[in-house]
Amino acid sequence: TGNHWGYGKEDGPTAWHKNYPVAEGDRQSPIDIIPNQTSHDSSLGPIVLNYDHCTSINIANNGHSVVVEFEDSDDRSVIRGGPLDNPYRLKQFHFHWGGKGCHGSEHTVAGNSYASELHLVHWNAVKYKTFGEAATAPDGLAVLGIFLETGDEHRWLHMITDALYTVKFKGSVTDFKGFNPKCLLPSSLQYWTYLGSLTTPPLHESVIWIVVKDPIVVSEKQLGKFRTLVFTGEEEDQRTRMENNFRPPQLLKGRKVRSSN
């Protein structure tokens, strides 16, 4: 119905252009990043995250992913530096992942995909009054992308995976206070950056992407817990496991990808 979209055969990424023609635009995301074709830019300073006073509010299943929302009524948690001209406020973070044994990151690196990808979504509250307004502006959003690869257990990810059973169904929301996503970052924040879009409808071309080069390591067991979520609501009769909720790489269309040193 209406602008319903998903990741299935009929409503998935190849069909999104019907309701969202910008899907075929000039700055769509994600992309395949080819390291030796990126341009190193020494003017690109480090990314600075001020998350120490961040206020997480809740964790939710929105029918596409699991999302942790933050209080964004002031500059208590911001990202700045790197390619950004202003501080951008943290609004939410969420994940994209594959099926059992399949990879599910959105960005790929020289054609290789990771098991999953974490997106920390920020908006430019200096220039725009609301997230919604920023989400339609060319410099409105900054998303920090972190790759997840499987290996040893991640010491802090259990704080997320232990809560997933409370948001199994689409539309479920539970309190999730006191979580600082800084614990989900790799030690090095070296990154690639380029101008792109939301990777889900409405696919607005409003994102300054900052993709961190080093992945974090999580266990297959931890990742498997994400797949206990379902795309469907509790009242619906069929349970569709939430997995492979990623958009494949889109055409670069002449864009430059810059690399921090």
Ligand X SMILES: NS(=O)(=O)c1ccc(C(=O)NCc2cccc(O)c2)cc1
Verify binding: residue 200, ligand X, rule CB under 6 A: yes
Q: Which of 81, 186, 202, 224 binds ligand X (CB under 6 A)?
A: 202
Looking at the Cβ atoms of 81 and 202, the one nearer to ligand X is 202
- Has 158 been annotated as catalytic? no
250 contact choice in ligand X, Zn ion, none (CB below 5 to 8 Å, kind-dependent): none
121 contact choice in Zn ion, ligand X, none (CB below 5 to 8 Å, kind-dependent): ligand X
Verify binding: residue 119, ligand X, rule CB under 6 A: yes
Residue among 4, 53, 64, 103 flagged as catalytic = 64
135 contact choice in ligand X, Zn ion, none (CB below 5 to 8 Å, kind-dependent): ligand X
Q: Which two tokens stand for residue 178?
A: 């006191």
- In sequence order, the β-bridge partners of residue 230 are 241
- Using an 8 Å Cβ cutoff, are 96 and 102 in contact? no
Q: Which amino acid is at 121?
A: V
- Using an 8 Å Cβ cutoff, are 140 and 133 in contact? yes
202 contact choice in Zn ion, ligand X, none (CB below 5 to 8 Å, kind-dependent): ligand X
90 contact choice in Zn ion, ligand X, none (CB below 5 to 8 Å, kind-dependent): none
Q: Please, which residues have CB within 8 angstroms of residue 159's CB and are 6 or more apart in sequence?
A: 179, 183
CB of 78 to ligand X, least distance (A): 17
The total of other beta-carbon atoms located within 10 Å of residue 34's CB is 14
Verify binding: residue 143, ligand X, rule CB under 6 A: yes
Going through the chain in order, the beta strands assigned E by DSSP cover 32-33, 39-40, 47-50, 56-61, 66-70, 78-81, 88-97, 108-109, 116-123, 141-150, 173-175, 191-196, 207-212, 216-218, 258-259
Looking at the Cβ atoms of 205 and 215, the one nearer to ligand X is 205
Looking at the Cβ atoms of 35 and 132, the one nearer to ligand X is 132
* C-alpha distances in Å from residue 157, one per residue of 3, 136, 219: 33, 32, 9
Between CA 65 and CA 198 the distance in angstroms is 14
Q: Which stretch binds ligand X (CB under 6 A): 39-47, 172-180, 200-208, 249-257?
A: 200-208
Q: Which stretch binds ligand X (CB under 6 A): 13-21, 129-137, 168-176, 215-223?
A: 129-137
Please provide residue 22's backbone torsions phi and psi, each rounded to the nearest 5 degrees. -65, -10
Q: Given the rule CB under 6 A, which residues bind ligand X?
A: 119, 121, 131-132, 135, 143, 198-200, 202, 204
- Which residues carry out catalysis? 64
